[in-house]
């Protein structure tokens, strides 16, 4: 892994609590995952840190991401909250820190929180910086503030029922890697007839087909699972090459079905 690369698949930890989070991280690392994704809002950074520590995998081999919640975006608060995250994660740095959501109603100016994030990078608290749930216009603004090449990723919802094409393509045009969260649409991919049909023909699972489709678009995937069998199958999905016809069939499933849509979300593209 070069310094700027985000591993193509990560272990997502949203909704994982307590020992489930601890064991899921440890299991994923034992299977070969080297990218772990958490956030302050998940309230599991401590357990994620335990899972990493107890895995026996050297910290330097793991790409660890956390995210700053929108109530910590003021300059001094952002840095302090990141120090707290590092203490919970039992590490002196993370590999990637994201702004979890743009400041609701622009209460904190983007210049302030992105400047603080850049300061955190300069202080060595995080190797890379990026954002999550930013629109095309907000990405443009962020690039104007930080300059080209400064933003590692925009993490947004991407799955067969929400292709999120405009944001994905705009980010990639700006040279920003897209990380797709909820790539399995919280399990809904398992019930889709098209994905089931493709999966059965290929001796795969619908989840593997969905992950292969997201990955085929150059998007990093971060599925979440507590079961080792599912974690292993998800990891193997990155070796699946879908045909052009299979991709076209899955492309047609897009129905703009957004799952993560809180009241403070930006005006989506």
C-alpha span between 220 and 128 (Å, rounded): 15
The catalytically annotated residue of 33, 42, 113, 181 is 42
> What are the distances in angstroms from CA 229 to CA 9, 24, 84, 152?
16, 11, 33, 31
Is 230 one of the annotated binding-site residues? Answer: no
Could you confirm whether 113 is annotated as catalytic?
A: no
* Catalytic (active-site) positions: 42
Annotated binding site for substrate: 100
């Amino acid at each position: 892994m070069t310094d700027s690369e985000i591993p193509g698949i990560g272990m997502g930890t949203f909704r994982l609590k307590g020992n489930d989070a601890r064991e899921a991280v440890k299991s994923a690392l034992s299977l070969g995952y080297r990218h772990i994704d958490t956030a302050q809002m998940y309230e599991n950074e401590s357990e994620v840190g335990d899972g990493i520590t107890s895995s026996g995998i050297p910290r330097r081999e793991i790409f660890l991401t956390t995210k700053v919640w929108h109530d910590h975006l003021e300059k001094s608060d952002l840095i302090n909250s990141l120090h707290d995250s590092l203490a919970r994660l039992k590490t002196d740095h993370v590999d990637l820190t994201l702004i979890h959501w743009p400041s609701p109603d622009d209460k904190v100016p983007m210049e302030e929180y992105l400047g603080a994030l850049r300061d955190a990078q300069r202080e060595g608290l995080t190797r890379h910086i990026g954002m999550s749930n930013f629109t095309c216009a907000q990405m443009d603004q962020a690039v104007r503030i930080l300059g080209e090449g400064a933003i590692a990723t925009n993490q947004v919802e991407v799955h067969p029922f929400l292709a999120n094409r405009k944001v994905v393509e705009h980010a990639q045009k700006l040279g920003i890697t897209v990380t797709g969260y909820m790539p399995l649409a919280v399990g809904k991919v398992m019930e889709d007839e098209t994905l089931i049909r493709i999966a059965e023909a290929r001796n795969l699972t619908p989840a593997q087909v969905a992950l292969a489709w997201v990955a085929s678009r150059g998007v990093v995937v971060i599925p979440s699972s507590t079961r080792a069998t599912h974690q292993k199958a998800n990891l193997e999905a990155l070796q699946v090459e879908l045909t052009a016809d299979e991709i076209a069939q899955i492309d047609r499933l897009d129905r703009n079905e957004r799952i993560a849509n809180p009241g403070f979300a930006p005006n989506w593209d």
